[in-house]
Chains A and B, each alone.
Chain A
Amino acid sequence: MVTVRRRQAPAVSTLAINGILVVAAVYFLLPLVWVLIAATKSPGDLFATFGLWFSDSPQAWSNLVGLFTQSGGIFSRWVVNSIVYSGLGALVATVISAACGYAIAKFVFPGREVLFSVILGGVLVPATVIALPLYFLLNGVGLTGTYWAVLLPSMVSPFGVYLARIHANASVPDEVVEAARLDGAGDLRIFASIATRMMSPALVTIFLFQFVTIWNNYLLPLVMLNDTRTFPVTLGLTLWNSQTQRDPMFYQLVVTGSAVSAVILVVLMIALQRFWRADLTSGASKG
């Protein structure tokens, strides 16, 4: 009786489990498949043919050529801008928030918990609260309209500090720090050469998190940037989307541009996703 149930249950539930996962997979894929197919169509066919199959006259190549030659090839510039904003912003954010989180975890100083709470509070502040006042502040020092106006604010990740602190607590034993100090190593060197290595899964997580946050950010560049040459992809595509009102040709540019930028990011995600091993709450990680 018991054995029979044990043998049957897995078969049925395995089927059910995989069935649910297949449905979920279709759901996650649907818009991406749609946009990839739409990117092969002419503007006319976009509205006139079935969305999940190719039209009779696919023109993926000419759409791509159109995308990369429109306005002097500005699209590739937007992609590069996005990579610069996200890559550089996330790199600096990772370093400084790791340092701060490590310091909060491993040093005793007055106001430590208050500082940590205030930083955590920063996670809760809506982007809309920050963006506009930030514009006035940065305008005061002449930074608006420049790359810095987007880069500098992107380098602050309160969530990164939180992650760094719990991971420093969990994966950098006090004894190791103490031993290194006894060996005469300076605290900065301990952080740079020993702690960062032990915290590396957390650092990767912070980097990825911030990279995607910056890549997806829309409001900050919208407020800060005037010149299309400094735009990231998100802002550029919405600029084109607003121009569909005056020229339907832009529909195809928006669709093809969305497809290309989604592919770039998805490939990046797939490549980086396997590094995402850190458990965000307990600090444990798998190697």
Chain B
Amino acid sequence: MTTILPVRRRTRRRPALWALLLPFVVMFLLFFVAPIVYAIVQSTLATRSSGLGFGPPETTFVLLDNYVRALTDPAFVASLGRLLAFSGILVPLMVVTALGLALLLDTGRARAPRFFRVLAFAPYGVPGVIATLLWGFLYIPATSPVLQVLSAVGIDVVPLASGTVLFAIANIALWGFAGYNMVILLAALDAIPGELREAARMDGASMWSITWHIKLPLVRPSVILVTVFTIIGTLQLFVEPLVLQPLTTAISSTYTPNLAAYNQAFSQGNPNLAAAMAVIVAVLGFAFSFGFLRLVNRKGNRAW
């Protein structure tokens, strides 16, 4: 991993190093770091009017007021809780589904594995907005063949009721990304040397024990990667509730923290509060992802 080079030659390489590094680093600073700094600054400001509110407002420095306001707003706190619940539903569901399908394909007993792989991967290409529009039709009795069939056999499901809507959203995410994650895990399974499997089989190991003792430990880093990606994805939950919002009583304008931030910024004209909310989500994201990585790294080999 580390290339030890003589000092003299290293300095000669400096221009090349810069040429390789700089394009990305400059773009990263401009389009990632600068906006974050700007958002943090914004989150410490507030605009205030007076009287009836007509006339130029003034901007004042309020330090942590916006954060206090966000974190004391029951609706926003509830949205954070909802996000945790959503992670709790989606992350295990996603990892188990993707890993399960990948392992099934990897047994070598599936018919038309290439076909299935393509098919499962296809929803990844359907943008979240459009996927939600489609599922929106499938969640409403008037247009959903699935619900109509279920209702005909006496099962009445209301996917958009307040008790089920979180699962309905999780389903959209699962549909979109399970195949994609499966392909990531398949690539890792493919990379397991054939000799290792063969040796285990010669030793009389069953399919289960090969899966359990050989495959799973070897794809562990990829499983961790998929888990972290899914955690990050759930924290960004935004488009699905935004599109489903008009269809149901169960989704309010503050349903998820990102939706709340979006509404503050884009419909209620309070970008400062929105910035504070977004920063809170980002901090949560860091805490979650690093917390998870820490947990798994302590137990064994490093993921990255």
B-contacting residues of A (Cβ < 8 Å)?
A: 9-10, 13-14, 17-18, 20-21, 24-25, 27-32, 34-35, 38, 46-47, 50-52, 95-97, 99-100, 102-109, 115, 119-130, 132-134, 136-137, 152-153, 155-156, 158, 161-162, 166, 169, 174, 177, 181, 186-188, 191, 212, 215-216, 218-219, 233-234, 237-238, 241, 254-255, 258, 261-262, 265-266, 268-270, 273, 276-282, 284-286
Interface 1/0 per residue, B274-302 and A, CB below 8 Å:
11001101100110010000000000000
Q: In the complex, are the beta carbons of A186 and B134 less than 8 A apart?
A: no
A28: chain B residues within 8 A (beta carbon): 119-120, 122-123, 175, 178-179
Known: A17-B104, A280-B187. A30 touches B138 (CB 8 A): yes
State which of B32-40, B46-54, B62-70, B158-166 sits at the interface with chain A.
B32-40
Instruction: Name which residue of chain B comes closest to A161, CB basis.
Output: B24
Question: B119, A25: Cβ atoms under 8 Å?
Answer: yes
Q: Which A residues touch B191, using CB under 8 A?
A: 279, 282, 284-286
Closest Cβ of chain A: how far from B106's Cβ, in Å?
10
Cβ–Cβ contact B24 & A51, under 8 A: no
A133 near B42 with CB under 8 A, answer: yes
Interface size class of B (residues with CB under 8 A): 35 or more
| Bound Cα distance A163, B146 (Å) | 40
In this complex, the member of A17, A153, A281, A282 whose beta carbon has the largest number of chain B beta carbons within 10 angstroms is A281
Partner of B175, one of A31, A130, A218: A31
Question: What sequence of 0s and 1s flags, for each residue 48-87 of chain B, a beta carbon within 8 Å of any chain A beta carbon?
Answer: 0000000000000000000000000000000000000000
Other-chain contact of B130, A17, A261, A277 (Cβ < 8 Å): A261
Q: In the complex, A41→B159 CA distance in Å?
A: 25
Query: Given A132-B265, A174-B3, A212-B124, A122 and B20 touching (CB < 8 A)?
Result: no
Question: A270 and B20: CB pair below 8 A?
Answer: no
- A28-B123, A133-B275, A265-B125 are known; give 10 further A-B pairs, CB within 8 A: A13-B109, A18-B109, A21-B111, A24-B101, A129-B35, A129-B278, A161-B24, A174-B3, A261-B130, A282-B191
B245 / chain A contacts, CB cutoff of 8 Å: none
A102 touches B20 (CB 8 A): yes
User: A126 with B281: in contact, given A237-B133, A280-B222 (CB under 8 Å)?
Assistant: yes
Nearest chain A CB to B13 CB, angstrom units: 6
Tell me which residues across on chain B come within 8 A of A109, comparing CB atoms: 17
Binding site for A on B (CB under 8 A): 1-5, 9-10, 13, 16-17, 19-21, 23-25, 27-28, 30-32, 34-36, 38-39, 42, 100-101, 104-105, 107, 109-111, 116-131, 133-135, 137-138, 142-146, 148, 175, 178-179, 183-184, 187-188, 190-191, 207, 221-222, 224-225, 232, 235-236, 238-239, 243, 258, 261-262, 265, 271, 274-275, 278-279, 281-282, 285-286, 289, 303-304
| B120 with A24: CB separation less than 8 A | yes
Q: Say yes or no: B125 contacts A212, CB within 8 Å.
A: yes
CA distance A276 to B221 in the complex (A): 18
Find B236's partner among A127, A258, A270 (CB 8 Å cutoff).
A127
Q: Which residue of B lies closest to A100 (CB)?
A: B24
* Chain B residues with CB under 8 A of A158: 28, 32
* Interchain residue pairs with CB less than 8 A apart (21): A18-B110, A21-B116, A28-B122, A31-B138, A32-B126, A95-B23, A99-B24, A100-B23, A103-B20, A115-B25, A126-B258, A128-B261, A129-B36, A130-B39, A155-B27, A215-B125, A241-B243, A266-B126, A270-B118, A276-B183, A282-B221
A98–B304 alpha-carbon span in the complex (Å)? 18
Cβ distance B254 to chain A, nearest Cβ, rounded Å: 14
* Residues of chain B within 8 A of A134, CB atoms compared: 31, 35
Given known pairs A129-B282, A215-B125, A276-B187, the reply for A17 and B13 (CB within 8 Å) is: no
Contact A216 B127 (CB under 8 A): yes
Question: Does the CB pair A269–B124 fall under 8 Å?
Answer: yes
B16 near A188: Cβ-Cβ < 8 Å: yes
Question: Judging by beta carbons under 8 Å apart, are B128 and A278 in contact?
Answer: no
Q: Which B residue's beta carbon lies closest to that of A105?
A: B1
Cα distance A108–B151 in the bound complex, in angstroms = 65
A279 touches B190 (CB 8 A): yes
Q: Which chain B residues lie closer than 8 Å to A21 at the CB level?
A: 101, 104-105, 110-111, 116
Cβ contact of B145, chosen from A52, A122, A124, cutoff 8 A: A52
Enumerate chain B residues within 8 angstroms of A155, measured Cβ to Cβ: 27, 31
B285 and A126 contact, CB distance less than 8 A: yes
Question: When the two chains form their complex, are residues A96 and B265 in contact, meaning their CB atoms are under 8 A apart?
Answer: no
Cα distance A144–B134 in the bound complex, in angstroms = 31
Residues of A within 8 A of B261 (CB): 128
Are the C-beta atoms of A234 and B127 separated by less than 8 Å?
yes
* Residues A280 and B225 in contact, CB atoms below 8 Å apart: yes
B34 in complex: contacting residue of A137, A174, A186, CB < 8 Å: A137
Are A241 and B133 in touch, CB under 8 angstroms? yes
Q: Which of the listed residues A130, A137, A162 has the most CB atoms from chain B within 10 Å of its own CB?
A: A130
Whole-angstrom distance between the Cβ of A86 and the nearest chain B Cβ: 11
Given the known inter-chain contacts A186-B16, A279-B190, A282-B191, please indicate yes or no for A30 contacting B146, CB distance below 8 A.
yes
B232: chain A residues at CB < 8 Å are: 123-124
Q: Are B39 and A51 in contact (CB under 8 A)?
A: no
Bound Cα distance from A106 to B133, whole angstroms: 46
Interface contact B110-A17, CB-CB below 8 Å: yes
**Inter-chain contacts of B303 with A (CB < 8 A):** 281
CB atoms of A124 and B282 under 8 A apart? yes
